Amino acid sequence: MALTVGIIGLPQAGKTTLFNALTRSQAPVAGFSTGTVQANRAIVNVPDERVDRLAEIFLPKKKTYATVEFVDVAGMANVEGERRESLSAEFLGHVRVADALAIVVRCFQNASIPHPLGAVNARRDVDDLLTTLIITDLTTVEKRLERSTKASKNGDKKLIAEVEFLQRIQHELGQGTPASRLTFTDQERAILDDLFLLTMKPRLYVANVSEGTLAAAGDLLARMTLGTTDVASLVAQAQDELHDVAEVGAQAIADHAEVIAVSAKLEAELNELTPDEASEYLASLDLPQLGADRVIQAGYRLLDLITFLTAGEDEVRAWTVHAGARAPVAAGKIHTDIERGFIRAEVVRFEDLAAAGGFAGVREKGQLRLEGKEYIVQDGDVAHFRFNVTKS
Ligand SMILES: Nc1nc2c(ncn2[C@@H]2O[C@H](COP(=O)(O)OP(=O)(O)O)[C@@H](O)[C@H]2O)c(=O)[nH]1
Ligand SMILES: [Mg+2]
C-alpha cells in the first residue's frame, strides 16, 4: 500500500528535478515546457534511522523501509505560460487520486531558465497555484450542485441537506478559502470524499532555492515556523532570493501547511556521487541532511501515517498503518492470517529496544508489554504478534 504524493507547480519550478532527487532516478528534465502532460511515478523508501539502528542490532538478512509514492505531474499552466483557469482532464486524473500534494515554488534565479509568468515571484506563484486549485474545486462543486439540486426537487431531505452543504462549500471556495480550512460533519465528509477536491488534500510547500542560499533558507524557514519572530517582519527584512523563500514560508503558515527549502538541482546532482562523497559535500555546505529526504519524510507525515517496526534475524522492517489503527489491523499488514488468528501483540518502544540491545534485555527490564485487540498502535512500536490459525 503505497500512498501517493502529487508533485505540482508551475513549469520550470523544478518539479522533475525534485522528483529525480527524491527517487534517485532519471526522469527527463524538460527544456522549455512540452505542453503535454507527462507524469513520472516512483515508489521511494522513507528514510528511517530506527530501521538502520535495529538492523545494527539484529543483523538481519534484509532491511525494509516504509514507502511512499511520488508522482510528478506537469500541466498547471499551458505552453505559453498563461494562467490556466481550467486544468486538463489528464492532469486532474493524476492529481485527484493523490493523497497529498507537494507544491514546488521556484525561488532560484537563473536568467537562462525562463519563468512562465515573467520574473521569479514566489508570492504570486503560490497565489496563482492555490487559486487554480480553488477554481478547479469550484467547478467540481458546481457540477455536483447542479445535479443535486435537480434531484432534490422530489423533496428528499437528505438531498436538500446536501444542496445546502454544497452551497456553503461553493460560497467558501468563492471567497478563496481552501476546503481543508473548513469543518465538516461525518455526513458532509462522506459527500466530500466523493468529490476528490484538490484543496482538501494535505499539502506541503517546497521552496526550490539555488545551492548557495540553501542553508540560509533552511534557517529562515525554521525561524518562521517556530513562531518566535514575527512572520511579517521576517518577510519584510529578507532580501533577494531569501525574500521569495520568506514569502513561501508566510503563505505556507497562513495555509496551515508545512514548508521545506530544497535545492532540487544540487540534490539531483548529489545522486551521482557515492554516499560518502555526498555526505562529505553536504558537510562542506553545513547541511546535515538532504532536503530530498526531508521532503519524503514530510510527505509521509502529511498522509497521517505511522510506522511500526518488526525486528528479527530474517528481517528488520518498517510497516505503515493509518494513525489510530488497532493491533489486529497492524498485524493484517504483515499477513491476513495474523489478523484473523490474532491473539495478542508483544510490544516494546523502539527507544527501549535500542537501549537494551535486544529482546532479552527488554524482557529483563519488563519493558515488553502484552497488548490485546483494542490496543492502538503507536509510531515507533516494535511489535511481535502471537496468532493462531485453525484450518477449516
Ligand atoms: N539553478 C537552479 N536550477 C534549477 C533548480 N531546480 C531546477 N532547476 C532547473 O530549472 C529547469 C526546469 O526544471 P524542471 O525540473 O524541468 O522543472 P519542471 O518544469 O517544474 O519539471 C531545469 O533546467 C533545471 O535544471 C535549482 O534548484 N537551481
Ligand atoms: Mg517537469
What is the whole-number distance in angstroms between the Cα of residue 74 and the centre of ligand 2? Answer: 6
Helix axes 122-152, 157-174, angle to 10 degrees: 160
Q: How crowded is residue 324: how many other Cβ atoms within 10 Å of its Cβ?
A: 10
∠ CA 346-348-353, nearest 5°, is 130
Indicate which residue's Cα is closest to atom 7 of ligand 1: 14
SS3 63: strand
What is the whole-number distance in angstroms between the Cα of residue 199 and the centre of ligand 1? Answer: 25
Cβ contact 354:54 at 8 Å:
yes
Q: Which residues line ligand 1 (CB under 6 A)?
A: 9, 11-17, 29-30, 108, 110, 113, 208, 210, 263-265
Cβ contact 241:210 at 8 Å:
yes
Query: Hey, what's the cell of 206?
Result: 517546497
Indicate which residue's Cα is closest to atom 4 of ligand 1: 265
Atom of ligand 1 nearest to the CA of 19: 15
Dihedral sign for Cα atoms in the order 304, 105, 261, 73: positive
Q: Which of 17, 26, 106, 269 to mutate to test the pocket of ligand 1 (most atoms within 8 A of CB)?
A: 17
Q: How confident is the model over 164-197, as pLDDT tens digits?
A: 999 999 999 999 999 999 999 999 999 999 999 9
SS3 279: helix
Q: Where in the chain is the domain with CATH 1.10.150.300?
A: 134-200
Could you give the CA distance from residue 293 to residue 275 in angstroms, rounded to a whole number?
Answer: 13
pLDDT in tens, the chain (392 residues): 578 999 999 989 999 999 988 887 656 665 444 455 567 888 888 889 999 999 999 999 999 999 988 999 887 765 455 555 567 788 888 889 899 999 999 999 988 888 888 889 999 999 999 999 999 999 999 999 999 999 999 989 999 999 999 999 999 999 999 999 999 999 999 999 999 999 999 999 999 999 889 989 999 999 998 877 788 888 889 889 999 999 999 999 999 899 999 999 898 888 888 878 888 888 887 776 777 888 888 888 888 889 999 999 999 999 999 999 999 999 999 999 999 999 999 999 999 999 999 999 999 999 999 999 999 999 999 999 999 987 65
Could you give the CA distance from residue 22 to residue 43 in angstroms, rounded to a whole number?
Answer: 10
- H and E: helices and strands count for the chain: 16, 12
What is the whole-number distance in angstroms between the Cα of residue 320 and the centre of ligand 1? Answer: 32
Helix axes 122-152, 186-195, angle to 10 degrees: 110
pTM of the model: 0.88
Q: Where in the chain is the domain with CATH 3.40.50.300?
A: 4-120+201-302
Q: Which long-range contacts (CB under 8 A, 24 or more apart) does 350-353 make?
A: 350/50, 350/53, 350/54, 350/309, 350/380, 350/381, 350/382, 351/380, 353/54, 353/57, 353/311, 353/382
> In sequence order, what are the residues at sequence separation of 6 or more whose Cβ sits closer than 8 angstroms to the Cβ of residue 330?
308, 319, 321, 345, 377, 383
CA-to-CA dists, residue 12 to 112, 211, 366, angstroms: 11, 17, 56
Q: Which residues partner with 318 through β-bridges?
A: 309
Q: Which residues partner with 71 through β-bridges?
A: 6, 41
Helix axes 15-23, 291-302, angle to 10 degrees: 90
What is the whole-number distance in angstroms between the Cα of residue 19 and the centre of ligand 2? Answer: 9
Cβ contact 62:311 at 8 Å:
no
Q: Which ligand is nearest to the CA of 18?
A: 1
CATH value of 4-120+201-302 in 2.40.50.140, 3.10.129.10, 3.40.50.300, 3.40.50.10470 = 3.40.50.300
What is the whole-number distance in angstroms between the Cα of residue 135 and the centre of ligand 2? Answer: 23
Indicate which residue's Cα is closest to atom 1 of ligand 1: 210
Q: Where in the chain is the domain with CATH 3.10.20.30?
A: 324-387
Could you give the CA distance from residue 274 to residue 324 in angstroms, rounded to a whole number?
Answer: 39
Q: Which CATH class is domain 134-200?
A: mainly alpha
Specify the residue for cell string 445546502: 164
Specify the residue for cell string 467558501: 172
> In sequence order, what are the residues at sequence separation of 6 or more whose Cβ sits closer than 8 angstroms to the Cβ of residue 271?
20, 21, 24, 278
Q: How confident is the model over 40-96, as pLDDT tens digits?
A: 888 888 889 999 999 999 999 999 999 988 999 887 765 455 555 567 788 888 889
Cβ contact 199:134 at 8 Å:
yes
Helix axes 240-254, 214-226, angle to 10 degrees: 30
Atom of ligand 1 nearest to the CA of 72: 21
What is the whole-number distance in angstroms between the Cα of residue 208 and the centre of ligand 1? Answer: 9
Atom of ligand 1 nearest to the CA of 210: 28
Find, among 16, 15, 22, 13, the residue nearest to 300 by Cα.
22
Q: Which ligand is nearest to the CA of 112?
A: 1
Atom of ligand 1 nearest to the CA of 20: 15
Query: Hey, what's the cell of 321?
Result: 498503518
Q: How crowded is residue 388: how many other Cβ atoms within 10 Å of its Cβ?
A: 10
Domain boundaries 324-387, corresponding CATH code: 3.10.20.30
Q: Which ligand is nearest to the CA of 20?
A: 1
